[in-house]
Amino acid sequence: MLPSRPTDCVDFRSQGHLGSRKHKFRFKNKLLSLDSTTISLCLSLFPWAEFRRAKGGVKAHVLLDHDDYLPSYVLISKAKMYDAKVLALL
């Protein structure tokens, strides 16, 4: 169970100290995010996925669309590929 709020705790947002917004903030263009994660693989089972001398791996690059929070593009590449190179491909 969460501890109760102290009685002297002040809600700054309701008093306008944190800057309340009168309208919602929106971007003019579509908002997309590119993120990647490295998936480790056993080098003895997957010799084609050489990442380092004794490690294997692949990288999953995901382009996320913030309108519906679903991936709009996914690329599986060698683990050494940088996100900047993937951006150049898009």
So what's the pLDDT on residue 57? 92
Whether residue 33 contacts residue 63, with contact meaning beta carbons closer than 8 Å, is answered with: yes
CA torsion angle for 62, 86, 60, 28 (degrees, to 10)? Answer: -10
Q: What is the pTM of this model?
A: 0.65
Q: What is the pLDDT of residues 44-61, one digit of tens each?
A: 898 888 888 888 999 999
Ranges of each domain in the chain: 32-83
Q: Whose CA is closest to 58, among 42, 78, 85?
A: 78
What is the pLDDT averaged over residues 27-41?
A: 90
Quick one: tokens of 71? 């991936």
